[in-house]
Structure 1
């Protein structure tokens, strides 16, 4: 079981990460829904303008060093639920929670755990790719392969 499998299992109460039937990674109430929501944050065509947009949001919130640590090759700095809410904004957090059918108090700790690891794994060279992480379909494919690595 890979690291992301382990963390997702712990965060989501022991559910085993697996691709939903038919290859749909956006199914509500399944890990695919979470992958879709994360894809919406990180994809170039997502709601915050991809990784570059996410970096800008963190920088505007005075936390550029935090997201920079996730992209860079060192230790990932932690982020609190409140810091994440501040950086992303209430509208984005509420929208993600609504898409997943959970409340923000449940969503924020999941994001605080998963975003640093996912961004770290999606930027193995220690820097954000100039072209971003791809559109939502490309990113969901990357997320799926990360979730299934053993």
Structure 2
């Protein structure tokens, strides 16, 4: 990350098409818009467990990538309507935490990671869970947005 505090901020939002990730995206977009920052959206495709069935694995990867591209297209359109510009988009494959760290390390302009807290009673989600236990290893500020916040509530906070 750059040391110059006057550079525009880039908010990295990990998205998956869920309502919670949309809440995190809205929060990040409003914050970026308020301070002249930028948005970057990331979808991480995790291994499916079918590595021993090459044909099945290939088909599943293709379907997952198409789904990720569709999610990014829809979310980018929403961002453009609000902000008047398209965000950066990224699709990466592998372990979610490792891929987030890799992108942060490779793009020194990313200043804040924005995560959504899941609304499932089973827990907040894997990234927020890793963050809470100290196992994430993110070296930039992280904002966790409650997944149940409405657009109006997010707008009032930002």
If the length of structure 2 is used for normalisation, what is the TM-score?
0.29
Please state which structure has a larger fraction of its residues in strand.
2
Question: If each structure's helix is expressed as a fraction of its own residues, which one has the higher value?
Answer: 1
